[in-house]
């Protein structure tokens, strides 16, 4: 998916690549701090499903953050919200709603596990705040915000996890 998003991104420039690198590193780092302290999202650990790990964090997690933020950013941009703060707020709401449907499915498929087996409310607050920062960066960086595949990816992910969630209910 990441390669499809990069390939379909028009006019790739330095700010676009800066977005990719910063988002990957920020996503990996916040997960690293989160897992080792329990203070950001709550107390959790990663299972084996997401593959190779470095310091108990799957290397794929940064890629996941890129895909979620990029596709949400493109979705919000396609809606036509011009105000950067409002766009980041709406995008963060979308991202947090996505996490809301991902969480129970992710637990079932051993993506990660919560220490108490309950998803702490701070997880959703942290997702909202962290995605707001990354979406604000996305909106501010001067690269072309037109990739028709990206909003489709976001909506497809949401529907995919929603279907899996309802299949368990």
Give the pLDDT confidence of 78-109 residue by residue, as tens digits.
Answer: 999 999 999 999 999 999 999 999 999 999 99
Query: Looking at the DSSP assignment, which residues form a beta bridge with residue 114?
Result: 44
Rounded CA-CA distance 114/59 in Å is 19
Tens-place pLDDT, residues 113-135? 999 989 999 999 999 999 999 99
User: Considering its fold, how many domains does the chain have in total?
Assistant: 1
**Dist CA 64 CA 50 (whole Å):** 10
DSSP string, 60-90: HHHHHHHHHHHHHHHHHHHHT---HHHHHHH
* Structural domain harbouring 14: 2-168
How much is the pTM?
Answer: 0.95
- Report residue 121 as tokens: 């409310």
């Amino acid at each position: 998916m990441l390669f499809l998003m990069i390939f379909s991104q028009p006019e790739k420039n330095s700010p676009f690549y800066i977005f990719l690198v910063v988002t990957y590193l920020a996503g990996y780092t916040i997960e690293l701090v989160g897992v080792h302290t329990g203070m950001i999202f709550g107390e959790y650990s990663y299972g084996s499903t997401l593959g190779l790990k470095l310091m108990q964090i799957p290397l794929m997690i940064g890629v996941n953050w890129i895909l979620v933020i990029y596709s949400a950013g493109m979705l919000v941009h396609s809606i036509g919200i011009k105000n950067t703060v409002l766009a980041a707020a709406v995008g963060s709401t979308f991202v947090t709603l996505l996490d809301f449907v991902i969480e129970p499915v992710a637990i079932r498929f051993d993506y990660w596990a919560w220490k108490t087996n309950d998803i702490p409310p701070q997880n959703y607050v942290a997702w909202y705040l962290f995605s707001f920062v990354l979406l604000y960066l996305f909106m501010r960086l001067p690269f072309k915000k037109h990739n028709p595949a990206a909003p489709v990816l976001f909506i497809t992910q949401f529907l995919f996890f929603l279907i899996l969630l309802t299949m368990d209910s």
